[in-house]
């Protein structure tokens, strides 16, 4: 029952495997063999009168007390008392991934769950049943207990579920969603209930979606840097591959290549500009490249977590082992680092926006890129808002792992707060994309004031779409909607490169 590294999949494959219309494959003979072996280990341990957490003993600090004689009452009690989560539900695609991750963890056999319960859950997942999972209320130490309990509660016909009606997702009572599928509510025996809620899967699911958005944002930062360099006539030497070769950092090399590929063909240094631009332009490969390296490192951690078993206890090598595989620190630290990376991308974009708004650095164009200085203020409001967005991002991405508090009568005396960190990064990402949209609006106005034609080649459609969404300013107008529109255009352009794959 070994999870080998060749089975660790990338996050792209993971998200495609759980996309709408994807199906979870049935248990293979190897899966069944592993799951039966785990169940046999558990049965032998119970027959020997050795205590097993959550099965013969209570939960958390109540482990010193005997469990209920009824496995189903023990399981339903676990789920019921943990259903204390609050807050808005996570998006349906995240909730769907959460259940997939728990089922993936169980099929390794370490959790000793029954194949019958696993197949009931998998069948409902394949038929489109999606629990509505609240985002707040877990410390992510014994896994994401509260959010996962709400998911388990939905399978019992209690709580809430997501349903798609006329192309729109909405939350309805879980009993109604099950009834519409013609499905009976599930009963949770103690071991299966514990295996479902004891996992870091909620923070992991949120972190996986955050990671993909951050990768696109790095690409967006490189594209917008290319556009700014081309329009300003900045010295392209800063993106020469020799600089990356001399330093040896792979992320820098990749980002510098992206910037070079986005430059206007034949782009040259305008000698009216300085030899060396401010760092927000000149050091873009170094900043975005460092972010890219961190994201690639974090992806390996998240992919291993998705491929492994986060549960307690686990059945390994004929032993029931009590430990802490449910502790979500690996996911928590990745989310913390993702937040710091997001701040760097947004801050770089905000500084480039400031560069475009200043006559001293925008090539002598009017301040705030307004064609009517004084009677008009151009992008002054947009820049102020972008500054606010960056400031709030910094509030949101304070490392959640630094906010740990002991709880659970001292049983959980070291907790990672991983889901808190992941959902904070999700909120900060929305603001980060608004900073990207703000810079895109500024570049559209820079192009208009510079009388620049849309580039020929691969980027033509992107810049033409942005120009249509954000026409030249003749006098001041509200730009909030245009910032959002440009954000969506850039994100959609980058999503085109994502390819579909076969379900796993």
> Which tens digits make up the pLDDT trace of 104-157?
999 999 999 999 999 999 999 999 999 999 999 999 999 999 999 999 999 999
End-to-end Cα separation, the chain, in angstroms = 19
Residue recorded with tokens 């194949």: 115
- CATH 1.20.200.10 in the chain, residue ranges: 207-495
What's the average model confidence in pLDDT over 292-319? 95
- Taking the C-alpha atoms of residue 267 and residue 405, their distance in angstroms, rounded to an integer, is 55
CATH classification code of 207-495:
1.20.200.10
- Taking the C-alpha atoms of residue 283 and residue 348, their distance in angstroms, rounded to an integer, is 9
Q: What is the pLDDT of residue 136?
A: 97
Residue 504: pLDDT band (50, 70, 90) is very low
Percent of the chain with pLDDT over 70: 95
Sheet holding 168-173, edge to edge: 130-131, 160-165, 168-173
Torsion from C-alpha of 33, 36, 37, 41, nearest 10 degrees: 180
Among 380, 382, 301, smallest CA distance to 334 is for: 301
- Taking the C-alpha atoms of residue 483 and residue 504, their distance in angstroms, rounded to an integer, is 38
Stretch among 13-17, 117-121, 391-395, 492-496 having the lowest mean pLDDT: 13-17
- Taking the C-alpha atoms of residue 419 and residue 349, their distance in angstroms, rounded to an integer, is 27
Question: Which pTM does this prediction carry?
Answer: 0.95
What amino acid positions are annotated as catalytic residues? 53
Residue 457: pLDDT band (50, 70, 90) is low
- CATH 1.10.275.10 in the chain, residue ranges: 10-199
What are 99-110's pLDDT values in tens digits? 999 999 999 999
Q: What is the pLDDT of residue 6?
A: 35
Contacts 24+ apart (CB under 8 A), 461-464: 461/493, 462/223, 462/489, 462/490, 462/493, 463/227
Q: What is the pLDDT of residue 8?
A: 43
Among 280, 271, 265, 288, smallest CA distance to 235 is for: 271
Q: Which of the following CATH numbers is that of domain 10-199: 1.10.1060.10, 3.60.20.10, 1.10.275.10, 1.10.357.10? A: 1.10.275.10
Q: What is the pLDDT of residue 1?
A: 33
Residue 466: how many CA atoms within 13 Å on its side-chain side? 32
Residue 266: pLDDT band (50, 70, 90) is confident
3-state secondary structure of 407: strand
- Taking the C-alpha atoms of residue 504 and residue 369, their distance in angstroms, rounded to an integer, is 50
Query: What does the block give as tokens for 10?
Result: 């990338």
What's the average model confidence in pLDDT over 188-206? 96
Q: Estimate the crossing angle of helix 190-197 against helix 71-82, to 10 degrees.
A: 30
| Residues 6+ positions from 297 with CB-CB distance below 8 Å | none
Q: What is the pLDDT of residue 405?
A: 94
Scanning 25-114, the segments in alpha helix (DSSP H) are 29-47, 71-82, 92-106
């Amino acid at each position: 029952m070994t999870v080998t590294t060749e089975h660790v999949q990338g996050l792209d494959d993971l998200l495609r495997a759980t996309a709408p219309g994807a199906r979870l494959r049935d248990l293979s003979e190897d899966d069944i063999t592993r799951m039966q072996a785990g169940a046999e280990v558990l049965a032998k341990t119970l027959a020997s009168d050795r205590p097993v957490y959550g099965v013969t003993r209570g939960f958390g600090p109540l482990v010193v007390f005997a469990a209920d004689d009824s496995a189903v009452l023990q399981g339903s009690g676990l789920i019921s008392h943990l259903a204390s989560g609050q807050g808005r539900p996570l998006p349906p695609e995240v909730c769907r991934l959460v259940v997939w991750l728990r089922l993936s963890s169980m099929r390794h056999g370490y959790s000793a769950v029954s194949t019958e319960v696993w197949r009931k859950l998998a069948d409902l997942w394949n038929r489109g049943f999606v629990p509505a999972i609240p985002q707040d209320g877990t410390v992510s130490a014994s896994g994401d207990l509260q959010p996962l309990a709400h998911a388990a509660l939905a399978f019992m016909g209690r709580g809430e579920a997501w349903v798609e009606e006329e192309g729109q997702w909405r939350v309805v009572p879980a009993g109604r969603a099950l009834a519409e599928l013609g499905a009976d509510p599930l009963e949770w025996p103690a071991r299966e209930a514990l295996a479902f809620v004891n996992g870091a899967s909620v923070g992991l699911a949120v972190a996986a979606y955050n990671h993909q958005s951050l990768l696109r944002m790095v690409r967006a930062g490189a594209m917008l840097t290319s556009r700014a360099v081309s329009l300003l006539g900045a010295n392209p030497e800063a993106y020469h591959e020799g600089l990356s070769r001399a330093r040896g950092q792979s992320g820098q090399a990749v980002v510098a290549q992206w910037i070079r590929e986005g430059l206007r063909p034949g782009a040259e240094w305008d000698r009216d500009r300085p030899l060396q631009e401010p760092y927000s332009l000149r050091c873009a490969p170094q900043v975005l490249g460092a972010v890219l390296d961190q994201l690639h490192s974090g992806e390996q951690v998240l992919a291993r977590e998705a491929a492994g078993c986060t549960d307690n206890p686990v059945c390994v090598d004929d032993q029931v082992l009590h430990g802490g595989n449910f502790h979500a620190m690996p996911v928590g630290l990745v989310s913390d680092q993702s937040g710091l990376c997001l701040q760097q991308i947004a801050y770089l974009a905000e500084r480039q926006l400031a560069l475009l708004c200043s006559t001293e650095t925008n090539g002598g164009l009017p301040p705030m890129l307004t064609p009517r200085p004084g009677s008009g203020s151009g992008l002054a409001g947009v820049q102020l808002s972008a500054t606010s967005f960056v400031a709030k991002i910094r509030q949101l991405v304070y490392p959640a792992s630094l906010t740990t508090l002991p709880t659970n009568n001292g049983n959980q005396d070291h907790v990672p707060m991983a889901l808190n960190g992941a959902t904070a990064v999700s909120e900060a990402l929305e603001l980060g994309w608004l900073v990207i949209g703000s810079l895109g609006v500024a570049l559209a106005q820079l192009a208009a004031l510079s009388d620049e034609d849309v580039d020929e080649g691969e980027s033509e459609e992107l810049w033409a779409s942005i120009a249509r969404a954000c026409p030249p300013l003749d006098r001041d107008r509200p730009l909030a909607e245009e910032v959002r529109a440009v954000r969506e255009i850039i994100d959609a352009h980058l999503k085109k490169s994502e390819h579909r794959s076969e379900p796993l």
